[in-house]
Amino acid sequence: MTGPNEGIGGDAPQAIRKLQPGRLVIASHNSGKVREIAELLGPYGIAPVSAAELDLPEPEETGTSFVANAELKALQAADLSGLPALADDSGLCVEALGNEPGIFSARWAGPARDFNVAMSRVERRLEQLGPETPRDAHFICALALAWPDGHVEWFEGRVDGTLVWPPRGTRGFGYDPVFLPNGEERTFGEMDPAKKHGMSHRADAFRQLVAAVLD
């Protein structure tokens, strides 16, 4: 399995496999994430169907990186559905916390996936480090596109910013209400979805995906 710019054993990069119009499984049970991905795919003749709609199970995320977790989710969905599948693994990396919660961002929200709990946990950890602690953070998004034959392409995006407290805004999902992108006055939770789609970590990864497999 190789990424978009990665060869095997020092060889030249492999040719990118193009995604044809038609049904594509979004390998996620997170409704907010599925909605964002479907909106980003809308202009390209792709008919997204969520893993929840197909009653596909959620695999245990045992990878040690965003890319590894995205790949295992995409591969399982493609294998079980017989369709190409796109998976996203993303998270918040707080630099003063050693880039935690990182790949465990959803787990910090607990079994109920309550991101108010997760955001409060991040804030408590920062407060424990003292008032002068830098609040720099970034979001990472890894996208893995898998086919039923096991072929995978992957793409990774990033957006940098700082954390605010208390949370601001009710748009978006996850940690969006505490993340203020660099150069902006509104958090992702306050921002118009169209503007967020143009600058987020997921948008960055999608730009790479579109250029590689859809254009």
Question: How large is the angle between the packed helices 31-41 and 201-209, nearest 10 degrees?
Answer: 40
Alpha helices in 3-114 (DSSP H): 31-41, 66-81
Q: Report the distance separating Cα 85 and Cα 119, nearest Å.
A: 30
Report strand pairing: 152-163 vs 136-146.
antiparallel
Q: Report the distance separating Cα 93 and Cα 99, nearest Å.
A: 4
- 88 is known as an active-site residue: no
Q: Report the distance separating Cα 143 and Cα 86, nearest Å.
A: 7
Q: Report the distance separating Cα 165 and Cα 87, nearest Å.
A: 30
163 alpha-carbon distance from chain centroid = 18
Catalytic annotation, pick one of 88, 89, 176, 204: 89
Query: Catalytic site residues?
Result: 89
